[in-house]
């Protein structure tokens, strides 16, 4: 089934990532571009007004006084003069500039307009005086008034231009700051786009790559034999059905293999029980021959002790068909075996059993220590010159029980040790200990089959061998 957070298909993921990137790029750029365009247009308008004002200064300060002087000096007639045109042009341009001015600038322009209006009235008065034939001195006096007012107008326009220059400096600063801000915003924008791209890439990776990777890991683990692995529903529509099919396939294969494993276990247990049955007659023959020999020698006490040990050995070996017995009984079993063998081998063999009494009530696989002791006798002590020592150890270590059988016999070369270790895990190889029978391999197989643990073999040539294993320690409340 699909997850409650509805999965997405690959097309929608890519489209969403594309829309995020385009929106992240376009919106800031449009806002920034609009701001810069508005500042630039304002700057251009200020330049245009300043240029017009500079041109008016030339008219007011130079052209208009010169034209009126030509009229006053009699070089041209009043009607031939361009003073009216210059005044109209000045007023028109001042009115046009005034439409763009703010309050601080308008005061200078209004003052200039009033001054131009005054000049215009003086020009009317000059026209009337010249029409009435007034004295030249009066006309010259009026000219000086016009020139004075023209200078005042020029001063107002100059103040306006100074104000505009200051404004241009301010706008230029704002534009420069805007450009710096633009650069910074572009850098931030580039970082944001990169971050958005990375996030989109991660989202796509989580949704696409991770889903595919989980499927690949699942296939790898199935190939390695782990059929318990399952993959949660994929976040991508296209992969959901494939995930469901793989989970169903793994479950079906696991069920079939489990059935086959149970069948193999049943067959293996039967085979191992048969091997145990084969070992009993061989040991029985040797033991009975030893008892007969002791009886012939008249060693009756030893006959009794050996017979009792042999009886105890057989009783524990049978154990009414049980596969597990207590550690206490397993200790008695191996003690009986060592007692019987010590009679046979006499002074060439000593032994010691050191098993923690706290382990006596714990459960252990039946006849697991005796084969290891047998192996130590036949492949360690028997081949050693002089007296040998066999030590059986059992102790608790945390939540596990540690058991070991150690001898100071012949030991093994590194090559033989490697072969023995390999034979414990590969039934197709020859028996590494060379016994061709029960041996360590049988113990290793039984431990692996019944307990899920391994047998550890350590050996050094001419110094001895230690074979050990660990079993879980079952607490008293868990045994009840």
pLDDT given for residue 405 in this prediction: 96
For residues 316 and 464, membership in a common domain is answered with yes
pLDDT above 70 for 436 = no
For position 269, what pLDDT does the model report?
Answer: 66
**More confident call, 312 vs 29:** 312
Task: Assess if residue 223 is contained within a domain.
Answer: no
3-state secondary structure the chain: CCCCCCCECHHHHHHHHHHHHHHHHHHHHHHHHHHHHHHHHHHHHHHHHHHHHHHHHHHHHHHHHHHHHHHHCCCCCCCCCCHHHHHHHHHHHHHHHHCCCCHHHHHHHHHHHHHHHHHHHHHHHHHHHHHCCCCHHHHHHHHHHHHHHHHHHHHHHHHHHHHHHHHHHHHHHHHHHHHHHHHHHHHHHHHHHHHHHHHHHHHHHHHHHHHHHHHHHHHHHHHCCCCCCCCCCCCEHHHHHHHHHHHHHHHHHHHHHHHHHHHHHHHHHHHHHHHHHHHHHHHHHHHHHHHHHHHHCCCHHHHHHHHHHHHHHHHHHHHHHCCEEEHHHHHHHHHHHHHHHHHHHHHHEEEEEEECHHHCCCEEECCCCHHHHHHHHHHHHCCCCCCEEEEEEEEEECCEEEEEEEECCCCCCHHHHHHHHHHCCCCCCCCCCCCCCCHHHHHHHHHHHHHCCCCEEEEECCCEEEEEEEEECCCHHHHC
Give the domain range for residue 438.
281-472
pLDDT tops 60 at residue 434: no
332 with 459, same domain: the answer is: yes
Q: To the nearest whole number, what is the mean pLDDT of the chain? A: 79
Condensed to tens digits (0 to 9), the pLDDT of residues 447-469 reads: 888 888 889 999 999 899 999 99
Q: Which of 166, 201, 236 is the last residue of a domain?
A: 201
CATH number of 36's domain: 1.20.120.1730
Looking at residue 43, its pLDDT comes to 72
pTM higher than the cut 0.75: no
Lowest mean pLDDT among 125-134, 269-278, 312-321, 386-395: 269-278
For residue 206, being part of any structural domain is answered with: no
Examine the domain organization and report whether 312 and 190 are in the same domain. no
Indicate if the pLDDT at residue 199 is higher than 70.
yes
Answer yes or no: do 78 and 177 share one domain: yes
> Of 201, 233, 255, which marks where a domain is finished?
201
pLDDT tens for 206-238 read: 666 677 777 777 778 777 777 677 777 766 666
Q: Are residues 444 and 315 in the same domain?
A: yes
Last residue of some domain: 167, 201, 235?
A: 201
Range in 48-62, 188-202, 389-403 the model is least confident about:
188-202
Whether residue 262 lies inside any domain: the answer is no
Pair 295, 187 in one domain = no
* Residue 461 resides in a domain: yes
Please tell me the least confidently modeled range out of 143-152, 267-276, 304-313, 439-448: 267-276
Number of domains in the chain: 2
pLDDT at 382 exceeding the cut of 90: no
Q: What is the pLDDT of residues 29-58, one digit of tens each?
A: 777 777 778 767 777 777 887 788 788 888
- Residue 107 lies inside a defined structural domain of this protein: yes
Q: What is the pLDDT of residues 244-265, one digit of tens each?
A: 777 788 777 777 777 777 766 7
Higher pLDDT, 476 or 296: 296
Identify the CATH number of the domain in which residue 401 sits. 3.30.565.10
Per-residue pLDDT, 284: 76
């Amino acid at each position: 089934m699909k997850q409650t957070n509805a999965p997405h298909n690959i097309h929608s993921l890519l489209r969403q990532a594309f829309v995020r990137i385009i929106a992240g790029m376009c919106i800031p750029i449009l806002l920034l571009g609009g701001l810069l365009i508005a500042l630039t247009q304002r700057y251009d308008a200020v330049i245009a007004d300043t240029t017009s004002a500079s041109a008016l200064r030339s008219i007011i300060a130079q052209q208009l006084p010169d034209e009126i002087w030509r009229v006053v000096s009699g070089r041209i007639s009043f009607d031939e003069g361009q003073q009216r045109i210059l005044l109209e042009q000045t007023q028109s341009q001042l009115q046009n500039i005034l439409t763009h001015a703010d309050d601080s600038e308008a005061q200078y322009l209004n003052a200039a307009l009033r001054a131009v209006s005054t000049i215009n009235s003086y020009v009317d008065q000059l026209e009337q005086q010249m029409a009435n034939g007034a004295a030249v001195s009066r006309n010259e006096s009026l000219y000086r008034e016009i020139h004075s007012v023209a200078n005042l107008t020029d001063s107002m326009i100059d103040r306006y231009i100074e104000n505009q220059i200051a404004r241009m400096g301010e706008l230029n600063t704002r534009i420069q700051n805007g450009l710096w801000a633009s650069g910074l915003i572009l850098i931030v924008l580039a970082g944001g786009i990169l971050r958005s791209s990375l996030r989109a890439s991660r989202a796509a990776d989580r949704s696409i790559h991770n889903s595919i990777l989980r499927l690949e890991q699942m296939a790898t683990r199935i190939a390695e034999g782990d059929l318990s692995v399952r993959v949660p529903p994929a976040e991508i529509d296209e992969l959901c059905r494939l995930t469901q099919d793989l989970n169903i396939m793994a479950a079906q294969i696991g069920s079939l293999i489990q059935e086959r494993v149970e069948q193999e276990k049943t067959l293996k247990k039967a085979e191992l029980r048969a091997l145990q049955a084969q070992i009993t007659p061989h040991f029985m023959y040797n033991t009975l021959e030893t008892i007969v020999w002791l009886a012939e020698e008249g060693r009756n006490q030893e006959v009794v002790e050996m017979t009792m040990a042999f009886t105890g050995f057989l009783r524990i070996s049978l154990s009414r068909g049980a596969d597990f017995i207590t550690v206490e009984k397993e200790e008695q079993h191996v003690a009986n075996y060592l007692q019987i063998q010590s009679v046979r081998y006499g002074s060439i063999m000593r032994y010691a059993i050191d098993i923690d009494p706290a382990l006596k009530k714990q459960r252990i696989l039946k006849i697991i220590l005796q084969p290891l002791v047998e192996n130590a006798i036949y492949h360690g002590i028997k081949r050693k010159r002089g007296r040998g020592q066999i030590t059986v150890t059992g102790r608790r270590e945390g939540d596990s029980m540690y058991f070991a059988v150690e001898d100071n016999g012949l030991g093994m070369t590194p090559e033989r040790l490697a072969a023995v270790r390999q034979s414990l895990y590969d039934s197709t190889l020859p028996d590494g200990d060379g016994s061709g029978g029960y041996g360590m391999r049988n113990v290793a197989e039984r431990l692996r089959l019944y307990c899920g643990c391994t047998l550890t073999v350590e050996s050094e040539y001419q110094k001895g061998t230690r074979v050990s294993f660990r079993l879980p320690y079952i607490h008293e409340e868990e045994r009840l």
